[in-house]
A and B are shown apart, each in its own frame.
Chain A
Amino acid sequence: MKNIWRQYGFVIATALFLTVFTGYALLDTFVIPKSYAMVEESDREQDIVIVQKNDDSENEGIAKELGGAEESDGTNEQDMADKQKASTGKKGGKRGSGEVSQPESAATTYKDDKISIELTEYQVNDTAVYVADVWLNDASCLKTALANDTYGKNVKEDTSEIAKEHQAILAVNGDFYGARNGGYVIREGTLYRESSSGSEDLVIYQDGSFGIIREGEISARDLLEQGAWNVLSFGPALVTGGEVAVKAGDEVGRAMASNPRTAIGYVEEGHYVFVVSDGRTNESEGLSLSELAQFLKSLGVETAYNLDGGGSSTMVFQDRVVNNPTTGGQRIAERSVSDIVYVGY
């Protein structure tokens, strides 16, 4: 025994260290939840959002920040007041300004004074693609939400659960910010993370317009100053200026492979499209980024952006999961995600 230890002790110790450390690293990456901040209601009148930190030692760039920019061009005071009142609506059921008439809803449509959504299913390259055509009279109805209303790592919930908690009429998975250590995270006017990952980001401004920026070229704080309300960091941009922005040869691996996809597009003021495709099944092969971009262009979008795909791709409409989310293709089930983009009050 002693001889074996003398001969192989070093090898055993090395193997033990690598096994234990790798096991811990895998748990830390995929399992162990870390909560950095709770989502607080924004106070537009003061233009300051206080982020409550739960764990100071795990701070990843949380900041006490200005919540919004000055009044944007072309937006009158009444619109701003409406937006302010609408933005204080949370899952407690507070509504926006004034009364909203009784909505008209069916399996594939929803309509009220501020929101109109029509759901259509397409077949594109042997793949089921679900398109939600969204018209908003109030830009503040386009929102984002975090799982468990918590900013952190490995803090996840099903898209349908987050949507339900926020009374979302329509929701898709977001950029899964929690899977990465870098990338701007700005949600509902609050800056959570300002470390750059160099990626292309989608900026949703307070007036509802879209913009594409590259991290590193502008800081997250400057984006807030410019009126950014939500910033999503996944990418790439699919359509810019009405033209396809991703080529078939770009981002080999991710771009060329057919997978479930999620994307969001801006057609014109107040008009958006949410697109989710199935994939990895016999019924639906999936789309490459290039195919997705071509399809979005055919819908007439001005700007479109790719969100987290694969097993995360989920569309929820009126509390019903519309697509067939799957990770490996064998089982149809949602994957827990860290955030969503949704339409609601």
Chain B
Amino acid sequence: MTLSMSDIEMERMHREKKEGVDRRAMSRQNRGIYYLKLSRNDVMATAFCAVFGCIYESFSFGVYSYFMIYSFLIPLILGGIPFLLLGLRFLGGTESAGLDKKPGNGGASQLSASVLTASRLWHAGIATLTVGFLFKGVLSIYGTTSGLTKVYWIIGGMLLVAGLAFSGGKSLIGTE
């Protein structure tokens, strides 16, 4: 006997309801975990930029660059902090959803395409701006300039805007 897709779906919904699993809450939990993972990665990037800037400045014979010193702020302010807050927001209020029975792991396959695309574009923008800051810092300390630095600002800005605009910002902050 061949069951239609709708029959299979209905059967799964009945089973999950019986097991006390709230799919919508599971989706929120997965998203929350995903955002926390992103935040963790951003914090690691922040730490790398801070350490790199310190080491580079220590060998620059007293010449310093604000771009090098403050490069760590880009992944922190644009990534680490907002995604930490988003992650905590999505994880909050999910205790009663019976999620312990089917915990998610925040894997990309468990999230909608719009969330993934928006966050990937956003983080590509963060990466571009961060590399731009480090590059500009190296140049400033050496005492030279390059017209190519503006490429980082333009592309980084465009990627951030694309990440926000991909689904009107809703997929990122979860109003869809």
Interface residue A29 (Cβ < 8 Å from any Cβ of B): yes
Most buried by B among A10, A15, A328: A10
Q: How far is the CA of A308 from the CA of B147 in the complex (A)?
A: 21
- In the complex, the chain B residue whose C-beta lies closest to that of A255 is B62
A29 touches B124 (CB 8 A): no
Query: Among residues 85 to 125 in chain B, which have CB atoms less than 8 Å away from a CB atom of chain A?
Result: 108-109, 120, 124
**Option from A10, A176, A280 in Cβ contact (under 8 Å) with B120:** A10
A25 touches B148 (CB 8 A): yes
Q: Which of B22-30, B135-143, B166-174 contacts A (4 or more CB under 8 A)?
A: B135-143
Interface residue B127 (Cβ < 8 Å from any Cβ of A): yes
Band of interface residues on A: 20 to 34
B63 touches A254 (CB 8 A): yes
Extra contacts besides A253-B64, A328-B59 (15): CB < 8 Å: A10-B124, A14-B124, A18-B127, A18-B131, A22-B135, A25-B146, A29-B139, A29-B146, A30-B142, A180-B145, A181-B145, A258-B62, A259-B62, A280-B61, A310-B143
B-facing mask of A303-334, CB < 8 A → 1, else 0?
Answer: 00000101000000000000000001000000
Most buried by A among B59, B61, B135, B151: B61
A-facing mask of B40-68, CB < 8 A → 1, else 0?
Answer: 00000000000000000001011110000
- In the complex, the chain A residue whose C-beta lies closest to that of B65 is A253
Interface residue A21 (Cβ < 8 Å from any Cβ of B): yes
Interface residue B144 (Cβ < 8 Å from any Cβ of A): yes
**Option from A181, A280, A308, A328 in Cβ contact (under 8 Å) with B146:** A181
- In the complex, the chain B residue whose C-beta lies closest to that of A10 is B120
A253 touches B62 (CB 8 A): yes
- In the complex, the chain B residue whose C-beta lies closest to that of A280 is B61
Query: Among residues 15 to 57 in chain A, which have CB atoms less than 8 Å away from a CB atom of chain B?
Result: 15, 18, 21-22, 24-26, 28-30
> How many pairs of residues, A versus B, come closer than 8 Å at their CB atoms?
61
A283 → chain B, closest Cβ, in Å?
16
Give the residues in chain A near B143, CB-CB below 8 Å. 176, 179-180, 308, 310
Interface residue A63 (Cβ < 8 Å from any Cβ of B): no
Interface residue B71 (Cβ < 8 Å from any Cβ of A): no
Interface residue B128 (Cβ < 8 Å from any Cβ of A): yes
Interface residue A256 (Cβ < 8 Å from any Cβ of B): yes
Show 13 residue pairs from A and B whose CB-CB distance is below 8 angstroms, ordered by the A residue: A7-B108, A25-B135, A25-B149, A25-B151, A26-B135, A29-B148, A179-B144, A181-B146, A254-B62, A259-B62, A280-B61, A308-B143, A310-B61
Interface residue A182 (Cβ < 8 Å from any Cβ of B): yes
- In the complex, the chain A residue whose C-beta lies closest to that of B108 is A7
**Option from B64, B127, B131, B148 in Cβ contact (under 8 Å) with A28:** B148
Q: How far is the CA of A176 from the CA of B108 in the complex (A)?
A: 51
Label chain A's interface by main secondary structure: helix
Query: Among residues 227 to 271 in chain A, which have CB atoms less than 8 Å away from a CB atom of chain B?
Result: 253-254, 256-259
Interface residue A11 (Cβ < 8 Å from any Cβ of B): yes
B53 → chain A, closest Cβ, in Å?
14
A22 touches B131 (CB 8 A): yes
Give the residues in chain B near A254, CB-CB below 8 Å. 62-63
Q: How far is the CA of A179 from the CA of B138 in the complex (A)?
A: 13
Give the residues in chain B near A29, CB-CB below 8 Å. 139, 144, 146, 148
Give the residues in chain B near A182, CB-CB below 8 Å. 145
A-facing mask of B15-44, CB < 8 A → 1, else 0?
Answer: 000000000000000000000000000000
Q: How far is the CA of A336 from the CA of B131 in the complex (A)?
A: 28
B62 touches A179 (CB 8 A): no
B38 → chain A, closest Cβ, in Å?
12
A257 touches B144 (CB 8 A): no
- In the complex, the chain A residue whose C-beta lies closest to that of B148 is A25
B127 touches A14 (CB 8 A): yes
Give the residues in chain B near A10, CB-CB below 8 Å. 120, 124
B144 touches A11 (CB 8 A): no
Most buried by A among B127, B135, B138, B144: B144
Give the residues in chain A near B147, CB-CB below 8 Å. 181
Query: Among residues 94 to 117 in chain A, which have CB atoms less than 8 Å away from a CB atom of chain B?
Result: none
A-facing mask of B151-174, CB < 8 A → 1, else 0?
Answer: 100000000000000000000000
B142 touches A257 (CB 8 A): no
**Option from A7, A21, A30, A180 in Cβ contact (under 8 Å) with B151:** A21
Give the residues in chain B near A30, CB-CB below 8 Å. 142, 144
B111 → chain A, closest Cβ, in Å?
11
Q: How far is the CA of A18 from the CA of B109 in the complex (A)?
A: 26
The 10 A-B pairs with the shortest beta carbon distances in the complex, nearest first, are: A257-B62, A179-B144, A25-B148, A14-B124, A29-B146, A10-B120, A181-B145, A253-B64, A18-B131, A180-B145
Q: How far is the CA of A314 from the CA of B70 in the complex (A)?
A: 34
B-facing mask of A166-200, CB < 8 A → 1, else 0?
Answer: 00000000001001111000000000000000000
